[in-house]
Amino acid sequence: MAAGAYGDRISRIAQVRDPPSIKTLYLQKALVALTRVRCDRRGTGVTAPIPREDAYIVGLELSDQPERELWVEGRGALLGPQKQGTFTLHNLLNDPRCDLPDPFDSLHFYVPHAALDAVAEEQGARNVECLHVPSGVAIDDPVIRHLGLCLLPALQKPEEASRLFVDLVTGAALAHLAHHYGKLALPRRLPRGGLASWQERRAKALMLERIDGDVSLEELAHECRLSRSHFARAFRQTTGQSPHRWLMSQRIALSQDLLRNSELSIGGIADRCGYANQSHFTRVFARYVGVNPGEWRRLQR
């Protein structure tokens, strides 16, 4: 099996068919992926060997788990009970394998070491030597828990997922892992201040050109000649919103203008504003505005 323990490749490891997965390319240097691995049957057995590579799996439990047997480099140990919301970390250089006697549901972050190095490079810090979490020890980390839960809707309906949102959340998870568990030391002075006027104009123009959301945080940062993390901080400081939230508000504003001033169908407006389909548009519009698009159009007229 090729390197990269995520998506279809994880199905053989955990004997799960067609697990939902999303992936993003961090700084054009490393592929980071998330896979939801769920099985409702008992007696799955011992996971298949995972090809060794310089990468980690961060396994966030979405349900309570009883104690299980764990093997690392062929040495067995007991993995104690894990509560929902805790995570374990597995170094794929160490041949981790686990017995799965009970039903399970977990979210796997596939994190190549190159992605941690990219975080360090972006922030002007030394490379991360390793993540300091003993294999198999359950960690209760609210940051990883909440970031993981934020991504579950994107896994359920990847066609509706915003690329900007996925980039932002996975980047935040990588930065947290690098700082909190990789002992990444920040330089003494971080860039401060908002965007220059030309940077704000260019970022907003590019997002409006690609209103369907098919624009990455890295592209926006590159256009503004900033690092991803600096751009995200500066954009929020300038606009009061994240790039993803700003783009969502522009989609709503455009859809309201078309509902009010055009004869386009609801489906046509959904397509014009970059939604995956009419159903996706209706759900998002109702969440932001309080009524569905058809009712809002009738009220305006």
262-287 pLDDT, tens digit each? 888 988 888 888 888 888 888 888 88
- pLDDT given at position 1: 34
pLDDT in tens, 123-163: 767 778 888 887 778 889 999 999 999 888 888 887 777 88
Q: Which residue has the tokens 């294999």?
A: 135
87 pairs with which residues across the strands?
Answer: 60, 139
Query: Which of the 8 DSSP states describes residue 103?
Result: -
- pLDDT given at position 232: 84
Task: Report residue 189's pLDDT band, with 50, 70 and 90 as the boundaries.
Answer: low
Tell me: pLDDT of 39 over 50. yes
3-state helix, strand, coil in the chain (%, to 5): 45, 20, 35
Q: How far apart are CA 19 and CA 98, in angstroms?
A: 18
pTM of the full structure: 0.69
Least confident of 35-49, 171-185, 219-233: 35-49
Please give the share of the chain, as a percent, with pLDDT higher than 70. Answer: 88
245-300 in CATH: which number?
1.10.10.60
Tell me: pLDDT of 185 over 80. no
CATH superfamily placement of domain 8-181 = Jelly Rolls (2.60.120.10)
Tell me: pLDDT of 2 over 50. no
Query: Which of the 8 DSSP states describes residue 65?
Result: B
